[in-house]
Amino acid sequence: MRLIFLGPPGAGKGTQAQVLARSHGVPHISTGDILRAAVSAQTELGQKAKGYMDRGELVPDDLILDLVGSRLEEDDAGSGWILDGFPRNVSQAKFLDILLEQMNQMYECVVNLDVPDEVIVSRLQERGRADDNAEVVRKRLSVYREQTAPLIDFYRERQMLVSIDGNQPIEQVTTKLTEIVAA
Q: Domains in the chain, start-ordered, CATH in brackets?
A: 2-174 (3.40.50.300)
Check residue 90 and give left, alpha or beta (phi > 0: left; psi -120 to 50: alpha).
Answer: alpha
Please check the confidence at residue 177 and state whether its pLDDT lies above 80.
yes
What are the pLDDT digits (tens) for 97-145? 999 999 999 999 999 999 999 999 999 888 877 767 888 888 888 888 8
> What pLDDT is recorded for position 110?
97
Residue 116 has φ and ψ, to the nearest 5°, of -60, 145
The mean pLDDT value for 11-38 works out to 92
Q: Model pTM?
A: 0.87
What are the pLDDT digits (tens) for 42-79? 999 899 988 888 887 778 888 988 889 989 999 999 99
